[in-house]
Amino acid sequence: MNEPIYLDYAATTPVDPLVAEAMAGCLTRDGCFANPASAHRPGREARRRVEAARVAVAELLGAEPREMVFTSGATESNNLAIAGAARFHRRRGGHLITSRTEHKAVIDVFRRLEADGFEVSWLTPAESGIVDPAQVAEAIRDDTVLISLMHVNNETGVIQDIAAIAEITRAQGVLLHVDAAQSVGKLPIRLQEWPVDLLSLSAHKFYGPKGVGALFLRRRPRARVEAMMLGGGHERGLRSGTLATHQIVGMGEAARLAIRDMGADRERILALRGKLEARLLAMPGVRLNGDPERRVAGTVNLGFDGVHGEALVAALDPYLAVSSGSACTSASAEPSYVLRALGRSDAQAESSLRLSLGRFTTEAEVDRAADCIEQAVSRLRALSPRSLGDSEPTPLSG
The binding site for another protein (CB under 8 A) comprises 4, 6, 8, 11-12, 154-155, 306, 308, 310-311, 313-318, 321-328, 330-331, 333, 336, 338, 346-347, 350, 354, 382-386, 393-394, 396
Q: Which is nearer to another protein, 77 or 348 (CB)?
A: 348
32 in catalytic set: no
Other Cβ atoms within 10 Å of 125 Cβ, number: 24
CA distance 78 to 161: 19
Q: Which is nearer to another protein, 148 or 301 (CB)?
A: 301
CA distances from 212 to 41, 166, 215, 251, 333 (A): 25, 26, 11, 7, 31
Q: Which is nearer to another protein, 11 or 52 (CB)?
A: 11
CA distance 386 to 219: 58
Q: How far is the CB of 78 from another protein (least distance, A)?
A: 16
- Sign, CA torsion 85/87/88/89: positive
Q: How far is the CB of 332 from another protein (least distance, A)?
A: 8
Q: How far is the CB of 6 from another protein (least distance, A)?
A: 7
Q: Which is nearer to another protein, 127 or 317 (CB)?
A: 317
Q: Which is nearer to another protein, 133 or 298 (CB)?
A: 298
Catalytic residue among 26, 32, 328, 372: 328
CA distance 59 to 256: 9
Give catalytic residue positions. Answer: 328
